A = this chain, B = another copy of it.
Amino acid sequence: MSPRLCVIPGDGIGQEVVPVAVAVLQRLLPDLTLVEAEAGWECFQRHGVAVPEVTLQAMRNCGAGLFGAVSSPSHQVPGYRSAILTLRQQLGLNVNLRPVRSWPQVSPKVGIDLLILRENSEGLYSGREHWQEEGVAIAERVISRTASQRLAECAAQVAAQRQARRITLVHKANVLPLTCGLFRDTCRAHLEAQGWRDVVDERLVDVAALQLVAQPETFDLIVTSNLFGDILSDLACHWSGGLGLAPSLNWGNGLALAEPVHGSAPDIVGSGRANPLAAILSIALLLRHHWQREDLAERLERAVADFLREEWRDDLAGDTTRVVSEGVLARIG
């Protein structure tokens, strides 16, 4: 069956970077079928729902998708929840892959190549908050053996794929012995059973954060819970060159939704300054992990590296979207 991509530009610059990434993918997979779908804050304002049921169906039918970005109002709006959270949960996208690597010119350091595997469905993202009494609010951090096990299975798979020399479980079990203990022990048991005993290591989240700044090159595969992964992956993407270079893949349940980590950046919409590289690199993750096309993923990443080496300038300003788009397309051939 020919590959299909559910295209969900979302809000703000999502609508500017997604078309570029789609054009790149069309070059690599000429028989690609596109299915457009809506989600996000604009969608909510139009239809009263941030992720319409037809969008979920489109994703399920396609198997693969590309999500742009989502705006969120700074204060709570009744009935509204960030579209990407709904997509992750409704579609059972239990794992989030966030690679961080050095690129020519834009990265502050060479030799970084790590991958953060983030649990993507529970933890503090459970959506379970309530008032205990007036003035005291509770959020429930939910950790299940099932979700931890699914993450560990994905970790074992990815570890094999990249021949991991180190797998670091990141937690805070000295303060959260029950939840982090369950997470750590489940992941460790599975990884050890799969033959990674000598490679598995662990770090407290505070220590991991410091080491990701001080010695990022010592990490390879990092496996962690939802919010820790959110924080550590933003921090770590500094080494790629910032959010403009940070791709991700929401994964699980046979589905894969690529997503640049950056937001909708309302302040630069329409200025031509949006950098489509994070969206383009997210496509490489779809190729590698969903369509099992390592060859095409590498071809795409090589095109990006060549473009950055040969053509990137820090002062592209309002030409960024166009120059990146043309530069990468030209190098894919």
Contact = CB atoms under 8 A, between A and B. Distances in A.
Contact of A139 (B72, B76, B82, B178): B178
Interface string A131-147: 11001111111111110
Contacts of A230: 172, 205-206
B145 A135 contact: yes
B238 A172 contact: no
B129 A136 contact: no
Interface stretch (A25-33, A45-53, A208-216): A208-216
A206 B234 contact: yes
B214 A234 contact: no
Given A124-B175, A179-B129, A234-B209, A141 B143 contact: no
A316 interface: no
B234 A178 contact: no
A124 B206 CA distance: 14
A269 interface: no
A144 B135 contact: yes
A242 interface: yes
A195 to B, nearest CB: 23
A305 interface: no
A138 B141 contact: yes
Interface in A143-183: 143-146, 172-179, 181-182
Nearest to A228: B231
A140 B143 contact: no
Given A139-B140, A210-B243, 14 more contacts: A82-B174, A124-B172, A129-B179, A130-B178, A135-B182, A137-B143, A139-B143, A141-B141, A175-B227, A205-B230, A206-B235, A207-B234, A209-B232, A235-B235
